[in-house]
């Protein structure tokens, strides 16, 4: 088994290095992920990885929501709290599909796991006779091993129920930002594949948010992008990328200024439409960029490290969740809105050995 971690500069500028991932890269489960994997991950779906529109004011946050009914996923255990917009429906679903159990968990057993003496409080919550206390909300999240975003989303669903038909806009807005599924969908097939598979589209989209791009003269932005990317893309490739991003409504033309800007509309892409072949191609392209960086950049400008170890395959869901939570924390800690640089964080985890079928 091998764990590979790489932080690479992708620009020539000497300023502080910051992110390209999380909102703009592939970060989720591969097509064919097992039931156990999907159940453990907060970002699940039938794709190589979910990704989001970088730096746009309308942060990509998913589109499919459900109540007590299934939103159409292949397996029940793959559903997470983000599939629900009613907290009670989520808890009923968890009761009926409790992780690691073939049958619904009894309220008596669940109460013990939550360190509650009596199951009566849980029963009243599931029947809609009362709202869970803050203590019980935290106990549920701890028991279900929620990530930070999942815990906050669940907490907000409970708070939303208190207001019923008069929910504050701040709660609705935060729920939308937390949920990786709330994004308008429209199948684009070939264009989606092109966007997803090309590493440079993400980098160019990130650069749209920098001060340097906003200051470039009309008609000269392609030259500016060519310079910032160190000549690793031709001007024809940059023009083609800009045209694609415009068709997908990630960017739009500012008629007053005469050049492109980030779009104010929802991008016409979502996690559900991403082909797995495109995801694999994108990962390969990013690893190729890492190979170039290890030869091109000095050790002061990059960080490569790896770890070879032994672990049980049964721990894979926990390992994947830990990696994703690290990725999200890295993004929160080091993303700098003022930075002029775009960098790349790649994480690969895989087995060197084949599975022992004995």
Mean pLDDT of the chain: 75
Local structure of 262: helix, strand or coil? strand
Of 181-190, 248-257, 344-353, the range with the lowest mean pLDDT is 181-190
**What would the two tokens of residue 52 be?**
């989001």
Of 148-152, 256-260, 321-325, the range with the lowest mean pLDDT is 256-260
pLDDT computed for residue 166 by the predictor: 87
Residue 74: is its pLDDT beyond 80?
A: no
Local structure of 76: helix, strand or coil? helix
CA distance 115 to 280: 44
Band (pLDDT 50/70/90 cuts) for residue 345 is very high
pLDDT digits (tens, 9 = 90+) for 235-292: 899 989 988 888 888 888 877 777 788 887 766 665 555 667 777 888 899 999 999 9
pLDDT computed for residue 5 by the predictor: 45
Assessment of whether the complete model's pTM goes beyond 0.75: no
Give the Å distances, CA to CA, from 133 to 104, 136, 139, 143, 175.
23, 5, 10, 15, 19
87-122: b (≥16 Cβ within 10 Å) or e: bbbbbbbbbebbeeeeeebebeebbeebebeebebb
Domains, the chain, in order of start with CATH, read 2-34+185-350 (no CATH), 76-178 (1.10.260.40)
pLDDT computed for residue 163 by the predictor: 86
pLDDT digits (tens, 9 = 90+) for 8-42: 434 433 333 333 333 443 434 333 333 333 333 33
Residue 109: is its pLDDT beyond 90?
A: yes
pLDDT > 90: percent of the chain: 30
């Amino acid at each position: 088994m091998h764990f590979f971690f790489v932080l690479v500069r992708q620009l020539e500028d000497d300023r502080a290095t910051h992110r390209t991932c999380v909102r703009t890269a592939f970060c989720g489960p591969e097509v064919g992920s097992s039931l156990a994997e999907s159940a453990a991950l907060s970002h699940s779906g039938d794709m190589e990885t979910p990704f989001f529109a970088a730096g746009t004011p309308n942060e990509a946050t998913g589109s499919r929501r459900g109540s007590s009914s299934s939103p159409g996923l292949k397996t029940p255990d793959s559903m997470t709290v983000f599939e629900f917009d009613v907290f009670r429906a989520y808890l009923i679903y968890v009761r009926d599909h409790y992780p690691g159990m073939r049958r619904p968990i009894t309220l008596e057993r669940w109460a013990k796991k939550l360190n509650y003496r009596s199951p009566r409080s849980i029963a009243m919550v599931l029947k809609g006779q009362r709202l869970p206390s803050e203590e019980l909300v935290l106990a549920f999240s701890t028991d279900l091993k929620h990530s930070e975003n999942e815990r906050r989303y669940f907490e907000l669903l409970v708070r939303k129920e208190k207001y019923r038909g008069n929910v504050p806009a701040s709660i609705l807005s935060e729920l939308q930002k937390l949920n990786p599924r709330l994004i308008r969908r429209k199948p684009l097939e070939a264009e989606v594949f092109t966007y997803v598979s090309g590493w440079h589209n993400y980098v160019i989209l990130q650069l749209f948010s920098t001060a340097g791009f906003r200051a470039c003269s009309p008609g000269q932005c392609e030259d500016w992008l060519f310079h910032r990317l160190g000549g690793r893309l031709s001007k024809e490739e940059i023009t083609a990328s800009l045209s694609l991003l415009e068709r997908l409504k990630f960017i739009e033309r500012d008629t007053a200024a005469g050049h492109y800007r980030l779009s104010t509309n929802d991008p016409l892409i979502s996690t559900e439409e991403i082909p797995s072949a495109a995801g694999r191609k994108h990962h390969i392209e990013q690893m190729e960029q890492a190979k170039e960086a290890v030869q091109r950049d000095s050790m002061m400008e990059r960080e490569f490290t790896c770890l070879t170890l032994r672990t049980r395959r049964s721990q894979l869901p926990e390992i994947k969740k830990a990696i994703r939570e690290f990725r999200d924390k890295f993004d929160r800690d080091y993303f700098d809105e003022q930075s002029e640089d775009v960098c790349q964080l790649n994480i690969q985890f895989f087995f060197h050995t084949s599975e022992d079928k004995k």
